[in-house]
Amino acid sequence: MDENLKKTEQQLDSESMKGAKNRRLILGILLVIGGLFYLSIGLGIFPESWNINAWRFWPLIVVFAGLGMISAKHWFSIIIGIITAVIIIGLAALAIFYNVSK
């Protein structure tokens, strides 16, 4: 009985760790891309008109709260994570064009 409980706890731990790992991966990729983007503007590689106030990305907090809740052991969760990342990058790209064309 005691051993079973230990096993259960270990499994739950590894499950939540896996979830945290996935979240960290997506968060890390987005942060690196965002950082490189703003660095490029700062260095003059991208035009100043591409600059977007970073605060306008605040709903990403809600997105990551939702992403963290989804259990990571299922393949479907990973697909959702990838789709989310693509949507976020796509929205950011659209926002740049929207900004420039204005």
Partner 1 sequence: MVYFGKIYNFIKSMPKESPAKKLYRSKTNRIIFGICGGLGEYFKMDPLIFRILFILLGLLQGIGILLYLILAFVIPGGTDNTAGEEQDKDFVEKISKNARGLADEVTDKNSWLSSPRNMLGLIILIIGLMLLTQSLFPGVFVGTFIAIILPLAIIIVGAAFIIKKK
> Which residues are near partner 1 by CB under 8 A?
1-2, 4-5, 7-9, 11-12, 15, 52, 56-71, 73-77, 80, 84, 87-88, 91-92, 94-95, 98
Two structure tokens written together for 84: 């989310």
Query: Mind giving me the DSSP string for 27-76?
Result: HHHHHHHHHHHHHHHHHTSS-GGG---GGGGTTHHHHHHHHHHS-SSSHH
Length of the chain as a residue count: 102
Taking the complex as a whole, how short is the minimal distance between the CB of residue 14 and partner 1, in angstroms?
11
Taking the complex as a whole, how short is the minimal distance between the CB of residue 76 and partner 1, in angstroms?
5
Q: Which is nearer to partner 1, 46 or 95 (CB)?
A: 95
